Amino acid sequence: AQSVAQPEDQVNVAEGNPLTVKCTYSVSGNPYLFWYVQYPNRGLQFLLKYITGDNLVKGSYGFEAEFNKSQTSFHLKKPSALVSDSALYFCAVRDEDTGGFKTIFGAGTRLFVKA
Amino acid sequence: GAVVSQHPSWVICKSGTSVKIECRSLDFQATTMFWYRQFPKQSLMLMATSNEGSKATYEQGVEKDKFLINHASLTLSTLTVTSAHPEDSSFYICSARRQGDNYGYTFGSGTRLTVV
């Protein structure tokens, strides 16, 4: 069965510093990996995805993520954090083998960027 | 492009009544729509997958008679919470898969349901 783990409930970072939000996954086939951001009482906004190709994926708002097959990780990164990046971040995975297009979400990591 | 409208954004209802939540794809045809439930400070839990013109597929533990899903057209899916109880209070989010697109799903803005 597919699963996603976000080991940190919360990440604190100072504005201007680099940030990393961690994600590891488990699937039986090839993974489709996603990052989403959620602001209070709002739906999810898509940030980026990895389907195939370059392991380094660039997405919205200056975010990027690196797919590491050997470590089954897909950590979200940004070189310089902004206060406005403070939100709830979800990593998600879809297993190519499921055939049902179901997306499984991690528990979420709350990012606090301090001015 | 790829906008999903979810309505209402919030609703308060009395115990025992039913509530309908709509999820519309505004500028694309959605072959498949997904319904999620999110408890405070928790992740999204997939409730069911609905395909246009067919019965929804419910995840284990989700009562299909309580959470009625209808996907009558390629642009509209509805979730009806029947005989709502306070424990049904939650944030419900839909997402839609564009016809022919296996990767890009678009999410609605969510519905906050409070049952009193």
Percent of chain B predicted with pLDDT > 70 = 97
| pLDDT greater at residue B41 or residue B69 | B69
Quick check: A46 and B106 CB within 8 A? yes
3-state class (DSSP) for residue A62: helix
Closest CA to B33 of B1, B73, B82: B73
Does residue B75 have a pLDDT over 80?
Answer: yes
Asked if B93 reaches chain A (Cβ–Cβ under 8 Å), the answer is yes
Does residue A1 have a pLDDT over 80?
Answer: no
Distance of alpha carbon B103 from alpha carbon B116, whole angstroms: 38
Range from A16-25, A103-112, B2-11, B94-103 that averages highest in pLDDT:
A16-25
Are A63 and A35 contacting, i.e. CB atoms less than 8 angstroms apart? yes
Looking at every residue in chain B, the average pLDDT score rounds to 90
Question: DSSP letter string over B2-39?
Answer: --EEEE-SEEEE-TT--EEEEEEESSS-EEEEEEEEE-
pLDDT band with cut points at 50, 70 and 90 for residue B72? confident
From residue A3, give the alpha-carbon distance in Å to each of A21, A28, A83, A96, A107: 17, 10, 30, 13, 10
Quick check: A49 and B106 CB within 8 A? no
Instruction: For A94, name the nearest residue in chain B, comparing CA atoms only.
Output: B103
Specify the pLDDT at position B43. Answer: 85
Are A77 and A20 contacting, i.e. CB atoms less than 8 angstroms apart? yes
Distance of alpha carbon A105 from alpha carbon A50, whole angstroms: 15
Asked if B49 reaches chain A (Cβ–Cβ under 8 Å), the answer is yes
Are A77 and A23 contacting, i.e. CB atoms less than 8 angstroms apart? no
Distance of alpha carbon B64 from alpha carbon B56, whole angstroms: 9
Q: Tell me: the pLDDT tens digits for A5-48?
A: 999 999 999 999 999 999 999 988 888 899 999 988 777 888 99
Q: Tell me: the pLDDT tens digits for B15-57?
A: 999 999 999 999 888 888 999 998 877 788 999 999 888 889 9
Does residue B7 have a pLDDT over 90?
Answer: yes
Does residue A99 have a pLDDT over 60?
Answer: no
Are B82 and B88 contacting, i.e. CB atoms less than 8 angstroms apart? no
Specify the pLDDT at position A28. Answer: 83
Asked if B107 reaches chain A (Cβ–Cβ under 8 Å), the answer is yes
Specify the pLDDT at position A97. Answer: 62
Specify the pLDDT at position B103. Answer: 67
Are A13 and A115 contacting, i.e. CB atoms less than 8 angstroms apart? no
With a CB cutoff of 8 Å and minimum separation 6, the contacts of A56 are: A64, A65, A66, A67
